[in-house]
Structure 1
Amino acid sequence: MRVTTKGQVTIPQHIREKMGITPHAEVDFIEEDGRVILVKRDRDASVPPTFRRVRGVATIRMSTDEIMALTRGDQ
């Protein structure tokens, strides 16, 4: 396996599938006895990523112009 100029490697598909590593999954690298070990980071599945958590929270429908007027104090 070759490391790119950006320091990237491709995790083989069979390993990703076996370990449940999906796009946007978090992984860690652990140094141990002269080796580097890739581990899938455990994260609480009940806590969505930051942007997903707040997406769709606004309940008032306003146009962009109305929002800009509020932020500028043009009321």
Structure 2
Amino acid sequence: MRLQSYIDEQFRSDADSHFLDPIAIVGHDGTVLAQTFSFPKLKPNEITSIMNEFDNPGSLAATGLHIGETKYT
């Protein structure tokens, strides 16, 4: 199954009017493989900080996770 189809079919189901949005599937190299229309464009520094979190768990605790213009803590 293609990843975009997976997002469209599994996460955007309107059967019960429940869906997740925005969502994306991102590769280990930071490439967005599939996404909903409303998922913001990732900036290079955001990709770097996310990847660094896998190598150094807790590294985002002090700064929070930034995606687009939104900060997540």
Compute the TM-score of the two structures, normalised by the length of structure 1.
Answer: 0.22
Compute the TM-score of the two structures, normalised by the length of structure 2.
Answer: 0.22
Mark the structure with the bigger radius of gyration. Answer: 1
Bigger relative contact order, structure 1 or 2 (CA pairs below 8 A, ≥6 apart)? 2
